[in-house]
Structure 1
């Protein structure tokens, strides 16, 4: 998920209004939390996550078809069921041309007998295009077409110097394994994965009737290993300054001549592009060299294997099973394939997501929820304003700029105001592979249509039925899809302490905090990449950020694999800032309405922190968590709780945490952003 917390970040201070506006009981009893999930045998100061969720962690199994369990898996299951009804109705009785496309896409995907009967026929014309390549310029131009693999991605994004316009962006591409670490790290675990990857490449090539599969797999892995050695780490790629390198055509040619930029861009419909931002210059330059010194035949073998791999889910069962066995079973530890209809929901979301989203909104989105969420956003901005006003480490000039950025936050709630027009997209009721590739081509052509025009601030990069949310620093926008504005993440009938913690801290406060984390703080109120912090204020901020990174560097969720404090710094800063701000907002609520009663033996403050912990209910398979630790900017759920609350004095006060408790940190070692 991008950031579930982006949504909750919008719903902080106005919770009392929600409570007054609705009757009824919270979904999670008795007052918005599941107390039976707690393990009261654990001391809160020793392991707060286990105290809040220990019984659930012990007794709740991970479903056989999932990488993990918890709130972020349960709610998407519910949404899938709602979307399934929409899609199956479209397949059976379409009422519009767009509904027919949705139905045909789904019907083609679900007809497994027809897929088996067609065999390799849908694959053949695409592989023939690779086979027909005779020169390196032809190779590069084919690489840049939707559906084909390239060591360098070229796309269209917002210009960080001027967020009112688009620009072309080029950078390193993902290879066959999830990150460079899987190629380069030593040890039996990684050796086993690499052997399994080799076996997978051999298997899918043999299924496709490709000769000498083993030798080709060896050459492919050697090529990818060589490419990975020059790629940037996930930590390096988080730096918005180092990844912003606009170049002219002449500069591009000097950097990476074998990418043959002028004809390549022209073949992509980008002949008018005079500047390209190169995100990872050294990696792009190295990839260009590999295009020049690696035999053309090896590159064609690589493209062929990668195309077959990406097409595998749309081909006969043996291909699909091989793909699942490696990418899900081996890499993420998932023992069973998900039901085909569930996988279809994800494919439709990618291909025709807003077509389904428009119907989803009609059926499941309430204007009343829209109004409440809008009010919450306003209240949250007010809460952050108080925090910025009181930040003693900010000088006057930086504070003024920070307040200007806060005032221009652009929250979007529920759904887009204008929907994508899918009329140009051609969908077959018999060829799911062709449908997938047509959808990729359609999305690229949408980008081309937008490229010469001013940036469209109304575009959404998530569908309304997505249980997630995000912050875009170049737009200074928070986007909250309709699907996430419901329990457990949004419940108007819950105890105020619960809503301030779950909706406020882990979502609204967190996502607004991204505007001021180590990345987001480098963008100004207009979304420009600009250093608007005074040197002294930035230095004080960085002291706290460095300390938080160092803390997380010490956590070792899997033996031999620690959290990367620099990779996860932005999310950890947003978690801490969100908790600090949400708690302050809750105490303002208490000041207005009086000290809350003790419920089930817990004070309001204790319920607040317990709710914060339960908002991050989750567990993952070890293989999936390993992949997360190596590449994901989000820390595992346990550390988003324990690693944050131990820096916050009110948590110590609420639970009487003292020296000698396992989580205790002396006050001088605690990190504070907005306290």
Structure 2
């Protein structure tokens, strides 16, 4: 299972369902000339798409562009009690939830409608509380009955089929070096904290989180009826720490070359001894596969050893905790509350859970996303919006073509291949061309746990059935209701769900400069991922291969090293710096997105000067559109977690990417001596 290059990750209750997939239409040559941009005729935000009242013009843009673009918004905005962060992605996600709620409320009034029955089963809180822990007692009993390591490996595989993770993450995806073929992939997993640093790093804040996590584990085991929960919880934590010690760090884990390791079925017994691989593979449904892709081989080796060394009872308790965590959101209030108290409040800082209907929308959207999505598109994504977004994508791709021509650091022979890759691109806008069929999924109106388990099993089996079949190039990895976007290099595609194609990211009635600064940069961001430090390793067919010259790589790395150092210096919290190596791909994509969207905006003007609106030039509106999209406020634990474990820099540090763009300096008259000023030689330019 290979990773997807998503632009931003949202914390959604749909993750409870535990199935996320990622994955084109005929490939056409892009026109060399961009189409004229539409004129603003009355936007949803402000008069032309910018929140002018949210700006703080008392601040010099060259000193603090974040505050200049959104200082008054920041001062006036409170993070809602049910959120760890609040910004434009959250605002739009709330809008998508409200839209989706209307669909599910109507469906719930029609008994027999699967999405309505699924939603109704979650909304019946009284019935869920009356059942207590009973719905998962049979699973707990099966774990307890697994009295040796072979039986526990089989139990781990069984639980995996219903969305409960174990020591390893397993899934079906493309073989990166044979992208027309599906293959089973395995990678490290098994820890309950966000990153190995939470277990291993000597830091007072993380030490406090560790203590609270151990208390949470004891509490959950107690709720499951485990005797001597304190001692047994401590033993599970020690086991997880051994797994965390085995894990690769996130910088190493994002290297597409290092994480491509093909093992035969027989290799597992010799390369990762101590784990009953044969029974695990058989129970997981992958027996008979000749080869597997292993993401972090040394981690699997050491995790297998940790499993072999652990007492049977410790592994049993470990699996019970995994089960409780996976299903807490659909179990009775004591378990649900305890789980949220740690993962929602301690780790993220949110004092309250989202209201029940929001959680229900997230769960059903995760379980039956394309059936919900079909109704969503019919109601909220008009053809005119899709057509306008299609044109924006074409304009951005055309801008990339010109950028490739003008590069001075890329060899001519590499440029030919880069153009071939660009010409082979498949943009996906709004929704899939083929909707998923859920007729084989059984949904009960009175049993949410059974419904979640069935949905997970349905998706698991659907993935298994891909093995030996042609690659489905129509498949989507996100639902239309998702406020996000992604690039998938093995598919050579960029994907933009319907929900992100709304204000403040895109408004067909807004000023084009604002749209290009918003969704235009998002489009350029995703497009550029196919040429970033990892995406560049994939050729026009989606194959992981070395198609750049050695000198290309050397010159490219010299530029990206500067960006790593630039971000390493940023310090969102005292003593906590951004990891420039971890966030490199996303930071590069933001920088490229700005360059591509800026070029496309100017091409869309057709040679005419941009109008001045409310005293703002077109370039100023473009950069403000970008900055206002990234307005966000964090609770401290959420910010800490993002910096430690997420490949995306926090929003304010994505905004200040503008300091690498010459046009920004000219637009706002930024001069030497101002805080964000970089000398021209220090500005990072790649694309």
TM-score bracket for the superposition, by shorter chain length? over 0.9
Q: Partner residue of 1:290?
A: 306
CA, structure 1 residues 13+333, in 2 after alignment: closer, same or farther (shift >3 Å)? farther
| 3-state SS in 1 of match to 2:427 | strand
Give 1:251 shift: 2.2
User: Where do residues 191-270 of structure 1 align in structure 2 (5 Å cutoff)?
Assistant: 191-270=207-286
Contact 1:12 1:503 in 2 (8 A): no
* Of 344-353 and 647-656, the range deviating more from structure 2: 647-656
**Residues 1:311 and 2:327 aligned together:** yes
Q: Partner residue of 2:508?
A: 492
Q: Partner residue of 1:70?
A: 87
Q: Partner residue of 2:530?
A: 515
Give 1:612 shift: 1.6
Instruction: Specify which of 597, 609, 629 is matched with residue 623 of structure 2.
Output: 609
CA distance in structure 2 between the aligned counterparts of 1:529 and 1:310, rounded to whole angstroms: 34
**Residues 1:3 and 2:7 aligned together:** yes
* Of 111-120 and 320-329, the range deviating more from structure 2: 111-120
CA distance in structure 2 between the aligned counterparts of 1:364 and 1:222, rounded to whole angstroms: 49
Contact 1:15 1:499 in 2 (8 A): no
Contact 2:41 2:48 in 1 (8 A): no
Contact 1:144 1:153 in 2 (8 A): no
Q: Deviation digits for residues 44-73 of structure 1, max 9, x if unmatched?
A: 111111111111111111111111112101
Contact 2:501 2:519 in 1 (8 A): no
* Of 140-149 and 81-90, the range deviating more from structure 2: 140-149
CA, structure 1 residues 173+576, in 2 after alignment: closer, same or farther (shift >3 Å)? same
Unpaired runs of at least 5, structure 2: 10-21, 23-29
Contact 1:12 1:380 in 2 (8 A): no
**Residues 1:49 and 2:66 aligned together:** yes
* Of 211-220 and 605-614, the range deviating more from structure 2: 605-614
Instruction: Specify which of 572, 594, 599 is matched with residue 613 of structure 2.
Output: 599
* Of 554-563 and 654-663, the range deviating more from structure 2: 654-663
CA distance in structure 1 between the aligned counterparts of 2:679 and 2:361, rounded to whole angstroms: 49
User: Where do residues 369-380 of structure 1 align in structure 2 (5 Å cutoff)?
Assistant: 369-380=385-396
Q: Partner residue of 2:12?
A: none
Give 1:148 shift: 3.4
**Residues 1:573 and 2:588 aligned together:** yes
Q: Deviation digits for residues 196-234 of structure 1, max 9, x if unmatched?
A: 111111112212221110011100111111110110111
Instruction: Specify which of 635, 640, 643 is matched with residue 649 of structure 2.
Output: 635
CA distance in structure 1 between the aligned counterparts of 2:337 and 2:202, rounded to whole angstroms: 28
CA distance in structure 1 between the aligned counterparts of 2:623 and 2:475, rounded to whole angstroms: 36
CA RMSD of aligned residues (A): 1.9
**Residues 1:184 and 2:183 aligned together:** no
Q: Partner residue of 1:19?
A: 38
CA distance in structure 2 between the aligned counterparts of 1:376 and 1:270, rounded to whole angstroms: 42
Q: Deviation digits for residues 261-295 of structure 1, max 9, x if unmatched?
A: 33322222212210011100010000111121111
**Residues 1:141 and 2:154 aligned together:** yes
| 3-state SS in 2 of match to 1:468 | coil
CA distance in structure 1 between the aligned counterparts of 2:41 and 2:617, rounded to whole angstroms: 22
CA distance in structure 2 between the aligned counterparts of 1:4 and 1:470, rounded to whole angstroms: 8
CA distance in structure 1 between the aligned counterparts of 2:35 and 2:413, rounded to whole angstroms: 34
Q: Partner residue of 2:439?
A: 423
CA distance in structure 1 between the aligned counterparts of 2:193 and 2:453, rounded to whole angstroms: 22
Give 1:16 shift: 6.3
**Residues 1:479 and 2:495 aligned together:** yes
Q: TM-score, normalised by structure 2?
A: 0.93
* Of 355-364 and 252-261, the range deviating more from structure 2: 252-261
CA distance in structure 1 between the aligned counterparts of 2:658 and 2:8, rounded to whole angstroms: 19
Equivalent residues, number: 661
Q: Partner residue of 2:680?
A: 667
Give 1:595 shift: 1.8
Q: Partner residue of 2:140?
A: 127
**Residues 1:549 and 2:564 aligned together:** yes
CA distance in structure 2 between the aligned counterparts of 1:623 and 1:594, rounded to whole angstroms: 48
CA, structure 1 residues 43+163, in 2 after alignment: closer, same or farther (shift >3 Å)? same
Instruction: Specify which of 381, 388, 412 is matched with residue 397 of structure 2.
Output: 381
**Residues 1:582 and 2:607 aligned together:** no
| 3-state SS in 2 of match to 1:479 | strand
CA distance in structure 2 between the aligned counterparts of 1:588 and 1:356, rounded to whole angstroms: 38
CA distance in structure 2 between the aligned counterparts of 1:665 and 1:638, rounded to whole angstroms: 17
Q: Partner residue of 1:331?
A: 347
Q: TM-score, normalised by structure 1?
A: 0.95
Give 1:567 shift: 0.5
Unpaired runs of at least 5, structure 1: none
Q: Partner residue of 2:477?
A: 461
Q: Partner residue of 2:26?
A: none
Instruction: Specify which of 515, 520, 524 is matched with residue 504 of structure 1.
Output: 520
CA distance in structure 2 between the aligned counterparts of 1:245 and 1:670, rounded to whole angstroms: 37
Give 1:589 shift: 3.6
Q: Partner residue of 2:457?
A: 441
